[in-house]
Structure 1
Amino acid sequence: MKVERQLPSTGSYATSETRSRASSTAGKPAPGAAPDAGAVRLSGLAAQMSASTEGSPVNSAKIAEIRQAIAEGRFTINAEAIAGRLIDSARELVAAERRG
């Protein structure tokens, strides 16, 4: 399978810098705006999840390797491995919910 299309560079992807800026202004109304006008508030769990992904390690070399493999048509997907891990993850979530 060969991927020809590039994702558009719209600047809509949040970086750790934009996340930091957003979290530092979260919950504060814009100057001159009503306090709740268009406000979005995250639950405690959503805020924890967002914070936990900010420090996620990014392996740039691995990303470049995968991009090159895709460009050359060498990238293969092991659907059985993905399905197996997805099922394992779902089982872990269900088991954790039953315990909690």
Structure 2
Amino acid sequence: MKIDNSIKSTGQVSGENRTRETRAASTAPAQSGTQVALSAGLQKYEAVLAQSPVVDSAKVEEIKSAIANGSFSVNPEKVADGLIESVRSMLSAQPGTAA
């Protein structure tokens, strides 16, 4: 069976060019004069988040130590419950789905 590559172009941008264009648009500097203002409540939360560490280093070290000395145990029921809850959360966040 021979594959026919004679399909005529419809003027659409190819995937590679579209990716380049998207990349260029996302790295373009913002227009001058554009301003974003956060409400006082959001500014408060932004300040709290900026001061909070992304990773709890003490907890990471505790887990590493428990793994190293063989005392780390996994509660499969807790892991399963967490997975189910995260899937429920993701499904309820999707528009058009009932949870």
> TM-score, normalised to structure 1's length?
0.41
* Structure showing greater relative contact order (alpha-carbon pairs closer than 8 Å, 6 or more residues apart): 1
Larger gyration radius, structure 1 or structure 2: 2
